[in-house]
Each structure stands twice: as structure tokens, then as C-alpha cells.
Amino acid sequence: MSKVRILILRVPGTNCDAETAFAFQQAGAITSIVHIGELIRRERRLSDYQIMVIPGGFTYGDDIAAGKVLANELRLKLGENIQRFVDDGGLILGICNGFQVLVKAGLLPGKTNGNSPSLTLTANDSGKFECRWVHLSVNGQSPCIFTKGINSMYLPVAHGEGKVIVALEALPYLNIVLYYADEHGGREADYPHNPNGSVANIAGICDASGRVFALMPHPERHIWHTQHPQWTRQRAKEYGDGFQIFVNAVKWVQSS
Amino acid sequence: MHRIEVHLKSHLPDARGLSLVRDIYDLGITTVSKVHVVDVYWLDADLEPDMLELICQSLLADPVIQDYQYETATQGRDKVSKDCHVVEVAYNAGVTDPIEDTIMKALQDLAIKNVKAVKTARRYLIKGQLDEHQLGTICSRLLINPIIQHVVKAKLLKFPQSPQYRFKLEQVHLLEASKTELLEVKQQFGFTDDELQAIVAYFQQQRRSPTDVELETLAQTWSEHCVHKTFKGSIQFGTTTIDNLLKSTIIRATEQLNKPWCLSVFEDNAGVIDFDGRWALCFKVETHNHPSAVEPYGGAATGIGGVVRDPLGTGLGAKPILNTDVFCFAPPNLPYNELPKGVLHPLRIFKGVRAGVADYANRLGIPTLNGAILFDKRYVANPLVFCGTLGLLPKDLSQRGQQSPGDLVILVGGRTGRDGIHGVTFASEQLTEASTTVSYSSVQIGNPIVEKKLIDVMLQARDRKLYSRITDCGGGGLSSAVGEMAAETGVRVYLDKVPLKYAGLSYTEIWVSESQERMILAVPPDCVQELLSLFASEDVEATVIGKFTNDQRLQLLYQGILVCDLSMEFLHRGRPQLQREAVWEQPQHTEPDFTPPPDLGEALLSILSSWNVCSKEWVIRQYDHEVQGTSVLKPLVGKNGDGPSDAAIIRPILDSKMGVIVSNGINPNYGEMDPYWMAASSIDEALRQIIAVGGNLRRVALLDNFSWGNTSRPDMLGALVRAAEACYDMAIVYETPFISGKDSLNNEFQSEGETISIPHTLLISAIGVMEDVNRAISMDFKKADDLIYILGITHNELGGSEYFRSYGFVGNNVPKVNPQLARELMDKLSLAAEKSLVKACHDCSEGGIGVAIAEMAFAGGLGATVHLESVPLGEPIDRDDFILFSESNSRFIVEVRQENKDEFEEIMGNVSLAAIGEVNDSKVLEIYGLDGRKIVNKSISELKEAWQKPLRW
């Protein structure tokens, strides 16, 4: 079976590219960290890859608003290519800053039953950058292919603008994948379980196809058990909770 | 010209506004009910309304949450209701605003090309009854720092026109100067008498007067910051003459230890050690004290930016993989009437420094995993900001490069402006009241994304072997970087080739500017094209500005005219050695006299709540400490991830089990009694932390960072000598070489006839190589019924302790170190840890046994019962409070399983230890005194609350 090829987009201010590549490599894929200029200048083609990742970071300094400038650049300079990539069955994963970019570029939440809810991400309610570990409850009903078979995860967040804002009426048209939860899985948990004040505790969403997925927490930072903040207290499994997301994506491509 | 305002829709909470309301309340102004923060953008362009709509909708505003107005909406804007006050703040001309560059780029993406320039401002709508004085207080204490910002009237904002510079060669007529004129030159450039004499003699020999840029170059190259002339000077200390304190203590220890794993020490921008035979680690800690005192945010941010470029400029370039930051401030609750004139309040400095460090390091994607924050009133005018970076590079690239004559000088990264002009000489001089108003040109803001782009492309150029040598442009700018790099070869630089941020810089300003985010490369001619196109492909500027020669001269040209022509010999070896006197007398403090309080539980709570001991979680969580995915032991550990870790551990290569431990030791309180024991304690503390997390002393390297008062005072210098001597004595016994260091002297402030000197402050930073990260140990208690041991000897050593400080005393019994005993203990403890016999371990430092055990209990969510009567003592002590809170060095609290008791004790051999209690499920800490009476009985939730409350902002 030929190896799955992953494009990890690098832009000025991207900073989680290496560990994201590592996670996919552990899951058996071949990764290329590609500078946006290489795509714009057509030195590399998106269509040579099966999965595109927009990793965490502060693209263009997150000046004006997090992810905004890259979102415009993608929309205006690579919009058609990306749309074709998605239409042809490609997978897109946005982590943290990547979530902000995908939303602001209009690639998420996308249309569900003819409705496309207006959604954005903005400053945390605490007014602070928050680096902390959160419990996540996975929506088993979501079409997301990245989270198949996962019920819950424990992952770190590290962001200042992770609060999802969306009208409550629009929730039925949103494919929510992850909720911030308490340690028992309760999805109504307040701060600090919900670290940013997201509406309905939303931590990750996907499009109707389940192939475009974005989340604020960082699965690539929980690949090994020694990344778990309490690993010195308990005997843990070898792999961290985030690993399955990468395995799922690679397996899905292999089997489709 | 267009003006655009963007603000949150009114039904949404404004986090920036809410935090300002709290800050205003903290100033004692209670009438403000609401603050709205509005982002203002000025575009220098003439655009049609549909274009402006496009810009607002798709770039400047987020239509889901924000509203915007442009142009016409600005009319009548300052007519606001009586209880709403409007303040609009913009950056001063010449201050870098990174957002402006980004907006220009984004406008290009939108295919809008006819915008000439962008400015940003921030508008505050403050609701509540305020008189003019109160509004002024809010502005000056919270909204504006006049060094970088000013209030704008809505319609008066002007885009500054850069004056054109017309070349004129400036000469300083030294040879025929009068005494008064010579004195002026001496003061202007900060030369000593000897230095000026040497300069006059040199130019007499040349039979010409120097140019201004030649004197600037000498001033930079010979400054304390660049050449450490006090440490390298000749010091008369009593009857002994010390020729070069650095070489005779710190460097001497490293030379004597002669460890094969020390790859590059004291010769590059950072010290380098072998990691695993294939990779090397380099480590550097710097200070950015003076800039942080006048502009905390920008000063601290550029401190990070600067220290990150040290590893990047070490060997042939290292990837930055971890940051550590240590701050010293005055207490945040200092009454305003105790604030010296011309000084920013410590709370503002603290918040500004924290934000500057976080914004810069987070954007670079470097995890901030280690640090400390200390408080003392004497840091009020001279806060200390230590920033450190650990780098990783291939071992075969760890040696400093060497250029060949003919290699080109290439400047890469950011453009050059007036930033930080005279920063180095500023850093070496005392701060005075006037510094906060006149030294504006010393202040820099910094742009982390420019640096991030630089790091990304530099490491590619390194791996493609496109340059022969690299160094960073830091203090002293091109003058330092190019001048030092070319010391052995010679160089010719064409100053008019340097890309500028704005027109109007003179050739001298270009040469000494300290604009951030720049590096210098030496590039062989056949690599130049490939290097330039690589940099261009990632949109990072790279410019050939000169050529290395073989004539051992520093030659600068501007528009074809030679403006500087100095021999490298004179520049680098012509400085007369500094002559200083030093004295040392043991100070005597009042020996405390108070009766022990009956309930030591209350005393424990109060120490846990002290600024120095309390939880720093508020700071830690605003740093990204997980980026790069390398963390193994995080700064916060335990059951709920909120206990204080002794040291950080990372796994820099994600598929290798080898780790690096990073720790720091600092205790300025002890310096008041004896800087020798302060230094010894700091080293012991840094090493204890490495041992406590499961490390060992087999491969541990140290950095020293001295921040001192005015060392032209003999007593100050004497204290420095004492501290440096201890560094030698300790390093030799522990076998932990120093690999690099830095000093910041003259941290003294004069105001209204009063002189405030900082406490002698030595930061020891340590890195240790760990063979297997799976052996890491955290400090939280793990399981009920486990035994609690104390290792090491407790002495009556409460001088400088948190306990004495809580009573307002310093005392005299400074904690000492017996390095032989300590080393034996540490080695054995490492062995026990390698055999998995240690379940939790915490070092005893501030607050002694009491604080250590309390922290272990609440971090583990478990109770404990402890008996002081079995604690091994160095001499008879009859007071429970002294045993509980003594800060004797080289002690650990260790948790051991009952079934491992014998094996553990056997391994520890003749080390002084005792089982002093047990962990239990009670969630209460009970401590029994010498007479068997219960002296502490506190729930762990109460202890934790006391510890967390002070900095829960």
C-alpha cells in the first residue's frame, strides 16, 4: 500500500509544524512541511497530497484578528485549489490557529442542510492566553472521520482567541465534534474546563462531509504518555489521547 | 486619508475593557463602570467607499462580532456625554508597530495597492465620573507610556515625514581639544580616563582626529555590556591583586574540570555541551533590565528576541527549544507614595514584562517551561529581567565558524531604524529620574514574526551549508556584531547598503542602531546567489553590506567616502585594563528576638502567601509551555496540575528517550549577609532541583548571571568578588562547569539625593542531561501510607529566610553549603531514583521543611503527619519554628514506599536522613513539635488557598 502523503502548511508565524509532522509520521504517513509561497508559486501542488494540515501558531502574528490574514490569503490566492482538493475527497485538519484560519476563510462550518451558520472565534472570556489541559467529550453522532471510535480525550489548549461564537439557533446546522467537558464528560462545565467561554462548550467542528475538521486543543501535543501532565502519578498507556486522531486520518485515506 | 474604527458589538463582553476597569479600580478610582476599547486604523490613501467597505468587511472587522465606521463617522467625535471620557493613544513616530506591516501585506492580498502607509491607534471610552486629575492618573499609569505613545486628537494624526539625511562627515577634534572639551567627550561616550588617554594617543599616532563613528565604535566595543571590563579588570582586593576575576574563578573552574562533553565554552554567543553524541545543546541567559524599567512590554519582549538569537548565532546556528525567565520586581502592592519619582509602579512593570515575554515567546513557538519571580523593594527602580534560551544543534556544527577574506557580509532579517540607539551604553549607565523621559531612543518594541521567519529560513540555510559563520546583531548593533566577527580578518562595510525602515538615518546611526531581529552572516562568494534566493523565497530580507578582508582594519564607507578606519588591534586589544578596588566586610544585622508563635500553622500560611513563595500559576498559564510537544515535566505538576515543579524536563528529540533538565537557583536575600554563601546557595539550589526531578550530576552545566549595584564602589565590587569565588569553589566540587554567563552591573538609581541599589543578585541557571525521561519524578505526594524522609542536615540557618523576613528581620545565620557532603547526598539520591525507589521528591528552599511538605501534600491531594523530633540537626535547636522554617541547603523531602524502606536506606548509606512522617488520606497536614505537641494542623485546601490567592489575578 502506498504511503499517505500529508502537506503541513507553513506560513510566517506557524509554529506547531514539526510536532504535527511527527504525529503523522508516527501514524505511518509521509509528511512535507510546505511554505505557502511554494503553493502560490506552484512549485508544489496540493493535489499531490491526501491530507492538508494548517497547524498551530500565530500566522502573521495574529495581527488584526487570529488567523485573519492567512484566511484571506488562502481564500484569494489558493481558494479554487483548496475547494477542488476538498471536492476530490481530500482531508483538511486545522489545529488551534488552523481552526481560526479555516473559519475565517469560510471553509468551516460549511453548509449543512442548506444552512451555513455564521460562526467566529474570538478572545477568551478570561481576557488571557490560556495554556492548560482540558477534557473533551466527542460527539458520537458527528460525521467527523478523524474522531471515529473516540469517546473522550485529554489534551492541552494554548490560545488567546479560542472562544467560539455562534447563534444558538444555528446550532442544529453545526457539526459539532468536540465539547469541553469536566472529568466525567459533562458538557456543561464552566471555566476552567471550558477555557475560553465557547458557546455550547464547542471545542471542535467539522463540515457536513466530516473530512474538514478543526479543533482548538492540540492533539499533536499528546502523542506519548510522558506528555500527560499526571503521567508521573499513574501508569499510563504508551500513546497519548491525541494519537488516534492522526491514525484515524491516515487509515481513512488508506481504506478509501 | 481615511480613518476606520472597529469595535465589538455592544451586546458582547469586552475583555480588554473589563480588565482595564479592574486595573482602574486597583488605582483606587472606583467610579468607572465601563471601558470600551476601539481599534483605530488610519490609511494614507484616497479610496472609494466600496474599497473601504471591502477593507473593513474582509480584513479589519469580523462582521460576526464587530461593527465598524469609517471617515464620515468621525465627525463630531469628541462631543461625548459628560460622564464618558475619550482617550485616543497612538505610537510615537519611529516606534515599530508590527501590525502596520501586516496590514500592508494583507491589503496587497486584497489587490489594494494604492495605500501609502498605515497607522494604528487605540481609543478608550471610559464611562464614569472622573475629574481631570483622575483621568490624568488613568492615562499616565495605565494607558500611555510617553516613551512610546502619545494622546492624539482625533483629526490631527499626521503621518510623520522622514527628514532626508544629507551626508556630512563629523569629526571630533580630540587632538587639539581643551580639558573641558575632553571631559565632554569622555562623558558623551562613557569612556574612563585611561580609555580616553589611549584613544588620544592612538589618533596622535594616526595624525588625525577621529570621526564620530570611530568614537561610537570604540565606546560600544569597550562598553561594560560588550566587554565585561569590570570582570576582566584588575582588582585590588585587600592585599591580593586579582587579574581578571572571570578567568581566575568561573572560567578557571571550567578549565580545571576539563570535561570532554563541554564543546564550546565562553567563546561563542552561548555555551555548548554534548547531548547524545549526535546533537549538542547550547544555553544562554541574558538580562534586559534597563529597557524593561522604562518600557516593560517592549523591553522584556526584545529581551526574549535578543536571547533567542544567541543560540541561533552559536556554532553554525541552533534551533531554540526552551525558554526560561526569571524576574525580580518590587512588591506589586507597593504604595504609590513610596514610588520614587520617574519610576513606573512595580505592578505595571510586572504586568508589562509578563505580557512582553509571553507575546514574543509564544509567537516564536518556544515553550517557556521554567522560571522564577522574586520580590524585594529595592528592585523598585531597577527591575531585573533575565531571559534564557536553550538551543539544539548538530554536534558537528557546534564550533564557531570562521570566515575567509573575500567572504561577504550579509545582513539578514529586519530593517534598521533608530531603535535602541545607545542601548548598550544606556544599559551600562545608572538610571536616573530623567531616564524615563529622555532616553526614548533606547526603547524597542520588536516584531516576533520577523524573528520567526528569520529562524525558519536560517536553519534551512545552515543545513544547506550556505554560510561560513553567523552571529547575532544584539547590543551595539552592527558595530558589535561585525566588529567582533572581523576581529581576526578585517572588514569593509558599505553603510549606505543597509536597508532602512525610514529615511533620515546618519551613517553613525546605521552603524550603532540596535534594531531587532537581525543577524549577520559571512557567506562565501559562490554561495551568495543561492542564499539570497532562499531568503527571498521566504520573504526575509538579506542584503550584502560588505566584505571580509585580510588587512585587520575596520573600514566603513558611506556613499563612497571612508568614515571609519580603525585597526582591529587597537579596537580589540587597545583598551587599557580597568583598575578597581574592592573591599569586603561581614555586615552585622540585628539578631531577631521574638517568641515563637504558639500556632505555627498560621506562620506557615503566611509564608505560603508571601510574594516570593506563592503560586505563579497566573504567569505560567499565559506562557505556552507545551508548544513543540517536548514537555516531560511541566512547570505545574500534581493531581490537579497546579503544584510547583522543581525543574522542567523536555525531550528535545521526540523519538528519543533522552531528556534535558532545566533549573535555576537565585536567592538575593542571602547576599545581604554574605554574597559568598548566597552564590553557594544558588548553585546548590539549581543542582538540588535537577536531582529532585530524577536527574544526576554526571552532565550538568551552569550559567552565571550577575546583576549588581554600582561596582565602582569598592564594597559592591568586594561583594562581587566573594560571589565569584564561591562559584569556583562549588563548581569544582560538584564537577559542574560553567559554560557561559553574563553580567549587568551598575543597577543603581538616584532620585532626589537618594540612592537605591538592588540587592546583590546572582542567577545560576543549570542544564542537566537525563538518560531516560521515563525516570522523571514529580514533587507531589503519590500514595497514602508512604514514608516521608528528610535528607540532609538542618542547621540554625534562618538568616535571610522567608520566616525572618515575615517578622521584618534579616538575621545573621546565612545558610552555608558543604559541597562534599551535598555531592555525596545528591549522587546517592540519584542512584535511589534510578532504582525507582523515590516516589516524590522536593527540595527544601524558601520556607524550609514546612513549605516543602505543605506543597507536596496539596499538590498530591493527600494529607501527612510529620514529627520534627527526628529531623537530623547540625547543632542543638530548641525551637520548632526554627527547625520548620530554616533554609539550610542540600536538603530534600522524599516519599518512599514502606516496602522499599530498607533498600532506600541502604543506598543512602551514611547520608544524614530520617523518616519523619507518613503520607495519609486525611487531607490534613499535621506537624508535631519537639515536645510532641501538635504545632501545625491545617487542611491541605487551606494551605493551597493561601499559596494560590496572592497572584490569582
Q: DSSP readout, B507-543? A: HHHHHH---SSEEEEEE-GGGHHHHHHHHHHTT--EE
| B 96-135 residues with CB < 8 A to A | 98-99, 102-103, 105-106, 109-111
Stretch B199-223: mean pLDDT: 95
> By the 8 A CB rule, do B891 and B874 touch?
no
Long-range contacts, stretch A197-202, CB < 8 angstroms, 24+ apart = A197/A124, A197/A125, A197/A126, A197/A163, A198/A162, A198/A163, A198/A164, A199/A163, A199/A164, A199/A165, A199/A166, A199/A168, A200/A164, A200/A166, A200/A168, A200/A171, A200/A176, A202/A164, A202/A166, A202/A174, A202/A176, A202/A178
- No. of H helices and E strands in chain B? 32, 40
Please write the tens of the pLDDT for every residue from B415-426. 998 887 765 455
CB contact under 8 A, B776 and A130: no
Cβ pairs A/B, distance under 8 A: 170
Nearest CA-CA distance, residue A13 and chain B, Å? 6
Residue B152 identity (one-letter amino acid): V
- C-alpha pair distances (Å), B684 with each of A56, B820, B837, B841: 39, 11, 23, 16
Domains located in chain A, CATH noted: 5-255 (3.40.50.880)
Under the banding of pLDDT at 50, 70 and 90, the label for residue B154 is low
Flag whether pLDDT at B439 surpasses 50. Answer: no
| B98, B365, B782 member nearest A63 (Cβ) | B98
Under the banding of pLDDT at 50, 70 and 90, the label for residue B155 is low
B622 lies within 8 A of chain A by CB? yes
Nearest CA in chain A to B7: A64
B143 lies within 8 A of chain A by CB? no
Does the structure's ipTM exceed the value 0.90?
yes
3-state helix, strand, coil in chain B (%, to 5): 35, 25, 40
pLDDT at A111: 87
pLDDT at B148: 78
- C-alpha pair distances (Å), B417 with each of A7, B425, B471: 38, 18, 20
Under the banding of pLDDT at 50, 70 and 90, the label for residue B81 is low
Flag whether pLDDT at A79 surpasses 80. Answer: yes
CB contact under 8 A, B629 and A77: no
Under the banding of pLDDT at 50, 70 and 90, the label for residue B428 is low
Q: What is the CATH number of domain B779-953?
A: 3.90.650.10
| Burial (Cβ within 10 Å: 0-12, 13-18, ≥19) of residue A76 | middle
Nearest CA-CA distance, residue A12 and chain B, Å? 6
pLDDT at A169: 92
Mutation to test the A interface, candidates B449, B623, B693, most A Cβ within 10 Å? B449
CB contact under 8 A, B106 and A16: no
From the list A16, A73, A96, A144, the catalytic residue is A96
- Tell me the three cell numbers of residue B195: 580609555
- Tell me the three cell numbers of residue B468: 561560513
Which chain A positions have a beta carbon within 8 Å of B860's beta carbon? Answer: 233
Nearest CA in chain B to A97: B363
Flag whether pLDDT at B441 surpasses 80. Answer: no
Flag whether pLDDT at A106 surpasses 90. Answer: yes
What is the rounded CA–CA span in Å between residue B55 and residue B143? 28
Nearest CA-CA distance, residue B54 and chain A, Å? 12
Please write the tens of the pLDDT for every residue from B487-543. 999 999 999 999 998 888 899 999 999 899 999 999 999 999 999 999 999 999 999
Which chain B positions have a beta carbon within 8 Å of A128's beta carbon? Answer: 621-622
Helix (H, G, I), strand (E, B) or coil at B634: coil
Nearest CA in chain B to A120: B64
Stretch B470-483: mean pLDDT: 93
CB contact under 8 A, A223 and B629: yes
Q: Which residues pair with B243 in a beta bridge?
A: B234
The answer, yes or no, to whether the previous bond of A192 is cis (omega within 30 of 0) is yes
pLDDT at B432: 54
Tell me if the domain spanning B2-151 has CATH number 3.30.230.10.
Answer: no
CA B116 from chain center: how many Å?
37
What is the rounded CA–CA span in Å between residue B787 and residue B792? 16
CB contact under 8 A, B641 and A56: no
Active site residue A131: no
| A38, A69, A230 member nearest B639 (Cβ) | A230
> By the 8 A CB rule, do B615 and B945 touch?
no
Which chain B positions have a beta carbon within 8 Å of A16's beta carbon? Answer: 365, 627-629
| B63, B364, B773 member nearest A226 (Cβ) | B773
CA B312 from chain center: how many Å?
17
Please write the tens of the pLDDT for every residue from B679-691. 999 999 999 999 9
B18 lies within 8 A of chain A by CB? yes
Which chain B positions have a beta carbon within 8 Å of A77's beta carbon? Answer: 109
Q: Among all chains, which residue has been given the C-alpha cell 484515524?
A: A248
> What is the DSSP secondary structure assignment for residue A188, as one 8-state letter?
T
Mutation to test the A interface, candidates B654, B783, B841, most A Cβ within 10 Å? B654
Which chain B positions have a beta carbon within 8 Å of A221's beta carbon? Answer: 626-627, 629
> Which residues lie closer than 8 Å to A215 by C-beta, 6 or more apart?
A94, A95, A96, A99, A177, A178, A203, A204, A205
Mutation to test the A interface, candidates B11, B16, B19, B62, most A Cβ within 10 Å? B62
The H-or-E segment that residue A70 falls in is: helix A68-77
* Torsion sign, CA atoms B535, B536, B538, B542: positive
Helix (H, G, I), strand (E, B) or coil at B70: strand
Mutation to test the B interface, candidates A64, A169, A234, most B Cβ within 10 Å? A64
Question: Pick from A160, A162, A154: which is nearest to A199 by CA?
Answer: A162
| Burial (Cβ within 10 Å: 0-12, 13-18, ≥19) of residue B758 | buried
Which chain B positions have a beta carbon within 8 Å of A19's beta carbon? Answer: 627-630, 654
Helix (H, G, I), strand (E, B) or coil at A189: coil
| A60, A223, A233 member nearest B449 (Cβ) | A60
Stretch B344-363: mean pLDDT: 95
Residue range(s) occupied by CATH 3.30.1280.10 in chain B: 2-151
Which chain A positions have a beta carbon within 8 Å of B65's beta carbon? Answer: 120, 122, 165
| B449, B538, B777 member nearest A232 (Cβ) | B777
Flag whether pLDDT at B80 surpasses 90. Answer: no
What is the rounded CA–CA span in Å between residue A148 and residue A244? 9
Nearest CA in chain A to B111: A76
Flag whether pLDDT at B160 surpasses 70. Answer: no
What is the rounded CA–CA span in Å between residue B671 and residue B454? 41
Flag whether pLDDT at B174 surpasses 50. Answer: yes
Flag whether pLDDT at B348 surpasses 60. Answer: yes
Residue range(s) occupied by CATH 3.90.650.10 in chain B: 779-953
Please write the tens of the pLDDT for every residue from B371-411. 999 999 999 999 999 999 999 999 999 999 999 999 999 99
> By the 8 A CB rule, do B514 and B477 touch?
yes
Number of residues in chain B: 953
CB contact under 8 A, A158 and B626: yes
From the list A159, A193, A218, A222, the catalytic residue is A218
> By the 8 A CB rule, do A54 and A78 touch?
no
Stretch B547-552: mean pLDDT: 98
Stretch B917-923: mean pLDDT: 97
Q: DSSP readout, A78-142? A: SHHHHHHHHHTT-EEEEETHHHHHHHHTT-SS--BTTB---EEEE--TTSS-EEEEEEEEE-TTS
B365 lies within 8 A of chain A by CB? yes
Active site residue A96: yes
What is the rounded CA–CA span in Å between residue B81 and residue B64? 28
Mean pLDDT value across chain B: 93
Nearest CA-CA distance, residue B762 and chain A, Å? 30
Hey, which residues of B are catalytic here? 225, 288
What is the rounded CA–CA span in Å between residue A243 and residue A241? 6
B632 lies within 8 A of chain A by CB? yes
| B 652-691 residues with CB < 8 A to A | 654-655
pLDDT at A115: 83
Q: Among all chains, which residue has been given the C-alpha cell 572560567?
A: B251
Which chain B positions have a beta carbon within 8 Å of A132's beta carbon? Answer: 621, 641
Which chain A positions have a beta carbon within 8 Å of B60's beta carbon? Answer: 64
What is the rounded CA–CA span in Å between residue A203 and residue B496? 52
Please write the tens of the pLDDT for every residue from B766-779. 999 999 999 999 99
pLDDT at A25: 98
Stretch A174-193: mean pLDDT: 96
| Burial (Cβ within 10 Å: 0-12, 13-18, ≥19) of residue B576 | middle
* Cα Rg of chain B, angstroms: 29
Under the banding of pLDDT at 50, 70 and 90, the label for residue B435 is very low
Nearest CA in chain A to B41: A64
CB contact under 8 A, B629 and A22: yes
Question: Pick from B596, B658, B607, B666: which is nearest to B632 by CA?
Answer: B658
Beta B117-128 vs B84-91: how paired, if at all? Answer: antiparallel
> What is the DSSP secondary structure assignment for residue B139, as one 8-state letter?
I
> What is the DSSP secondary structure assignment for residue B400, as one 8-state letter?
P
- Tell me the three cell numbers of residue B682: 544558588
Please write the tens of the pLDDT for every residue from A212-248. 999 999 999 999 999 999 999 987 778 999 999 999 9
Strand stretches in B58-194, DSSP E: 66-70, 84-91, 117-128, 149-151
pLDDT at B437: 41
What is the rounded CA–CA span in Å between residue B795 and residue B725? 23
| A 142-161 residues with CB < 8 A to B | 156, 158
Stretch A36-45: mean pLDDT: 97
